[in-house]
Amino acid sequence: QVQLVESGGGLVQPGGSLTLSCRASGSIYNLAIMGWYRLTSGTQREQIAGVADDGYAHYIDSVKGRFTISRDDDENTVALQMNMLRPEDTGVYYCNSHLGAANDYWGPGTQVTVSS
């Protein structure tokens, strides 16, 4: 199974920006939909963005207009550009394919903390 490792998290002030990166151990060409998920409370991860292999992207309403997801199948990477960050965006962020998420197969995630 392809392994995914997230990076780029950290502490940022409200209104600031962060770019998260996800690098795969193998090809993501055959992974039709890649997404970013976050854990803000409890144990249930929330999908916040997804991008298909044709570049089509979707977002939940709370991040729409602030976050941008992208994928580079040549580099086997997925990125999440986050702007205008809010305290409620604080959490652990994960990348995954839809299949990996369905199988409850996750990487380590990266912590994002939005605070003054």
Name the burial class of residue 29, with classes exposed (0-12), middle (13-18) and buried (19+) by CB atoms within 10 angstroms of its CB. exposed
Neighbours of 98 (CB within 10 A): 15
- pLDDT band of 41, cuts 50, 70, 90: confident
Write out pLDDT tens, residues 1-30: 789 999 999 999 999 999 999 999 988 888
Whether 43 has a pLDDT exceeding 90, the answer reads no
What is the rounded distance in angstroms from the CA atom of residue 109 to the CA atom of residue 43?
A: 13
Question: Looking at residue 17, what DSSP letter applies?
Answer: -
39-54: burial string, b at 16+ Cβ within 10 Å, e else: beeeeebebbbbbeee
